[in-house]
Amino acid sequence: MTGANNFSVSGYGPERASWTRIFARDGLARRLDWPILLSALALSLIGTALVYSATRNRTEINQGDPYYFLIRHLMNTGIGLALMVGTIWLGHRTLRTAVPILYGLSLMLVLLVLTPLGATINGNRNWIVFGGGFSLQPSEFVKITIILGMAMLLSARVDAGDKPHPDHRTVAQALGLAAVPMMIVMLMPDLGSTMVMAVTVLGVLLASGASNRWIFGLLGTGALGAVAIWQLHILDQYQINRFAAFANPSLDPAGVGYNTNQARIAIGSGGLTGAGLFHGSQTTGQFVPEQQTDFVFTVAGEELGFIGAGLILVLLGVVLWRACRIARDSTELYSTIVASGIIAWFVFQAFENIGMTLGIMPVAGLPLPFVSYGGSSMFAVWIAVGLLQSIRVQRPMSA
């Protein structure tokens, strides 16, 4: 396998020199994975229309400007695209060398949330609010640093040719690296992000070739941890209520079960083709809370119907399919682990978000990748796309 420090593209020299050749000879545009890029961009543009529909009449949150969220969503998408380009330019291997700095920065940011600088929004204390209405959710970026950090540790000796797979000590170190920020995020408490990180860690271990003992041990530890969290009453009451409403959908439909009950009504009323964009009665009547973020899929279900909601699923499927191809075709373990971690993250977060609107998953406050309104989430998923593109761009053309 190709080592981290002697990378070449199609026989070219060091990484930076290879970048010059990629632009000058091979053509960067030809090496990009366009299905991922176009599908992700289409999802973000669809999300723009859905966010606008959900917020244009909500004067209590749009500051009296019906285009407030539309403009900001487009700006977030534009910044996300710029971050993707920057990530491709830097390269996933360069970011590998910067993992200690990125990891330390992400830890500092999540710790700041627990200080007076942190803000509670929708029951979760997982935000840092700055001046001018700008806010940051550090847990979104922790997902990236966990993937990069674990990939760096688990692949180091394998890519160097010293080991066929990560040894037990290396796996323990990688799990320790992931556990620290996960525990901090859990203290916020941000159960949804913690769940995503746990599934991401599992996906990373599966891709690394670690012993099955670690996989089964992690699953068992997760089950015991869930029981302990419940028994020790670590969860806030609103989180307990969400699980109770999931277990019993008829429980307090005007209270804890209101969100999921209204979400199902909105999606169910859409039928095959929907009521038409901007014409959904549940959306226009503002019956579904947080419809621009956590419940944005209900706008698609009601106004675009089964066909429009299905299109979102197809586009997400294209992103995941191409990401799987990138992971499969990678010539080094580090790249395979990074791509696989992103796949696990996207799969679970999309399933949880859509599942909670359909009543098959508990409400966890997770955005739908590329579609939901939210700067931190949008930036993080586009950085992830940049990592996938970097893996694709920097591999040998024959791979």
Task: Report pLDDT digits (tens) over 298-349.
Answer: 999 999 999 999 999 999 999 999 999 999 999 899 999 999 999 999 999 9
Which tokens is 373 given?
Answer: 């309104």
Alpha helices per DSSP H over 248-374: 258-269, 281-284, 296-299, 305-329, 333-358
Q: CA angle, corner 320, sides to 26 and 97, nearest 5?
A: 60
Per-residue pLDDT band for 123 (boundaries 50, 70, 90) equals low
Question: Helix, strand, or coil here: 354?
Answer: helix
Question: Rounded to the nearest 10 degrees, what angle do helices 138-159 and 333-358 cross at?
Answer: 150
Contact 166, 210 (CB under 8 A): yes
Label residue 210 left, alpha or beta by phi (over 0 means left) and psi (-120 to 50 means alpha).
beta
Question: Helix, strand, or coil here: 250?
Answer: coil
Could you give the CA distance from residue 268 to residue 280 in angstroms, rounded to a whole number? 11
Q: What is the structure's pLDDT at 265?
A: 86
- Check whether 117 has a pLDDT greater than 90: no
Nearest C-alpha neighbor of 176 from the set 103, 237, 255: 103
At which residue do the structure tokens 């549940």 appear? 282
Could you give the CA distance from residue 54 to residue 300 in angstroms, rounded to a whole number? 10
DSSP 193: H
Task: List, in sequence order, every residue forming a beta bridge with 72; answer none if it has no partner.
Answer: none
What mean pLDDT is predicted for residues 344-372? 91
- Check whether 158 has a pLDDT greater than 80: yes
Residue 219 phi, psi (nearest 5): -65, -45
**Strand order through the sheet with 135-136:** 118-121, 124-129, 135-136
310 class by beta-carbon count within 10 Å (0-12 exposed, 13-18 middle, 19+ buried): middle
At which residue do the structure tokens 């209405």 appear? 133
Question: Helix, strand, or coil here: 11?
Answer: coil
Which tokens is 142 given?
Answer: 């922790």
Share of the chain above pLDDT 70, in %: 83
Per-residue pLDDT band for 126 (boundaries 50, 70, 90) equals confident
Q: What is the structure's pLDDT at 36?
A: 97
Nearest C-alpha neighbor of 355 from the set 226, 192, 219: 192
Label residue 274 left, alpha or beta by phi (over 0 means left) and psi (-120 to 50 means alpha).
left
Task: Give pLDDT tens digits for 194-250.
Answer: 999 999 999 999 999 998 888 888 888 877 876 766 666 666 655 666 665 565 666
Give the count of beta carbons closer than 10 Å to the beta carbon of residue 364.
Answer: 22
| Reported pTM | 0.88
